[in-house]
Amino acid sequence: MTSGKTVPGISFGPFFLDSAGRRLLRDGHRVPASPIEVKLLETLLRNRDRVLTADELRLMVWAEDPATGIAPAQDANVLYVAIRKLRRSLRDYGKWIVNIPKVGYAISEEADVAATDGESPTASDNDHPFVGRHSELERLKKLLRNTRLLTLIGPPGIGKSRLAARLADEVASNFPDGCYAANLVPIGNDTLVPGAVLSALGLAERADRTDMEVISEHLKEKRVLLLIDNCEHLIDGCSQLVDHLLRTAPKIRLIATSREPLLLLGESVVSVPPLSVPEPNSASNESEQYEAVELFLMLMKQHRSDFEIGTKDLALVGELCRLLEGIPLAIELAAVQVGAYTVDQIIDVMSDRFRLLQRRGGQDLRHRTLEGAVDWSYSLLAEEEQILLRRLSVFAGGWTSETAREICAGDGVEKNEVIHLLAQLAAIWPG
């Protein structure tokens, strides 16, 4: 995915094949090559230890779902033409694409191919490891095959963006015309949403077309995956653009992340759950099998490589992760406090978690403190939702819908609106 982060790819000779962004680079510069040529080259490189027949290549490169084993009906010359164009794109290195007469095609043994799934030399994502979520990923991949719009929702810091980015990376090979990501955090106005997507697609503005028209004309026949990240403060603008694209570009798939759904026809909405945490009084030797604990230990080691967690402290880490409710952002902010505080000291001061859970760095100002993440979400609520949320805070042990209607109505909140507003808040912050 074209996003400036770590991407899976293959280094060979002076080239780097960015398999997620569907790009071929030579010495850091993009090589003119179509998405089909890039996918063909990737298929040959990933199977460089054997010769692929023409039928295998046609199935692996052109079939919409290679798992079916059914090759697409097309002219046999399509493969020959693509091989010829690929060789031309590689110039002097085109000789690495070897034809074995009456057998098929392979990568020459002369090609110096590095380990697959390495990292682009210009991108690194090691500071933000991806932990767990394997079952969620598999579920989302299956869902994306049958829906054109998949929206991941959840509270701030739950990991919507990272899960969406990983999902896009893992399914990128199914989209021969590329995968693209538009991050809307810096965008402050609904009217600017099409411009942000236009930029993500690498397209230029046109005087005779609106940005939305340029985007839809470009995508109308393409099989592209588009991730629109952080829609919550621009719901109207995002909904209008996505609705337009779904109607005008029938082959694309869209992933959106948001605090709330876009409420469009055919939208599949998935609430992102917290990471798994140990049950109270769990055995300390079982703690590491939980996703939240694994993330905490990984980030702690990254922050303080000299710090060791003993068996006793593992149980405390499990308790801390449980107090933080498995929220990745909160766990990340807690992990960087290790060294300045012991784990049990972090637990002791959790009553002032907004002061403790903060950091100086990070590109996204919303995620530098836990308080900032909550403030961001609160600021996006409608006035009536803010009033109701403040009034609900008086209930220490929970409430019923009837109790909420009796206690929270009045002065800005109509009694018959309480149930609707509660449903809105539950949709924004499920769980």
Q: Three-state DSSP class for 9?
A: strand
Rounded mean pLDDT of the chain?
Answer: 79
Residue numbers in the chain where pLDDT is lower than 70: 1-8, 19-22, 28, 64-76, 115-129, 283-286, 349-381, 389, 393-394, 396-401, 406, 420-431
Separation of alpha carbons 5 and 400, rounded Å: 45
Compute the Cα dihedral for 45, 49, 54, 59 and give only its sign: negative
Please list, in sequence order, all residues whose beta carbon lies within 8 angstroms of the beta carbon of residue 400, skipping any fewer than 6 positions away: none
Predicted confidence at residue 64, as pLDDT, reads: 65
Predicted confidence at residue 57, as pLDDT, reads: 87
Amino acid letter, residue 192: L
Predicted confidence at residue 363, as pLDDT, reads: 46
Predicted confidence at residue 228, as pLDDT, reads: 96
Predicted confidence at residue 410, as pLDDT, reads: 74
**Residue 304 is encoded by which pair of tokens?**
């303080």
pLDDT in tens, 79-99: 888 899 899 989 888 899 998
**Which phi and psi (to 5°) does residue 17 adopt?**
-100, 110
Q: Which of 168, 189, 219 is nearest to 7 (CA)?
A: 168
Is 193 within 8 Å of 239 (Cβ atoms)? no
Predicted confidence at residue 220, as pLDDT, reads: 93
Q: Residue 289 carries which DSSP code?
A: G
Please list the alpha-helical segments (H only) found in 220-339.
235-248, 291-303, 311-323, 328-335
Separation of alpha carbons 33 and 378, rounded Å: 46
Predicted confidence at residue 369, as pLDDT, reads: 45
Separation of alpha carbons 284 and 171, rounded Å: 37
Is 182 within 8 Å of 242 (Cβ atoms)? no
Is 262 within 8 Å of 239 (Cβ atoms)? yes
Predicted confidence at residue 424, as pLDDT, reads: 65
Compute the Cα dihedral for 324, 330, 335, 340 and give only its sign: negative
Predicted confidence at residue 223, as pLDDT, reads: 92
Predicted confidence at residue 28, as pLDDT, reads: 67
pLDDT in tens, 103-137: 889 998 888 787 444 333 333 344 456 788 889 99
Strands of the sheet with 29-30, listed across from one edge: 29-30, 23-26, 15-18, 8-12, 118-119
**Residue 85 is encoded by which pair of tokens?**
């164009």
Amino acid letter, residue 27: D
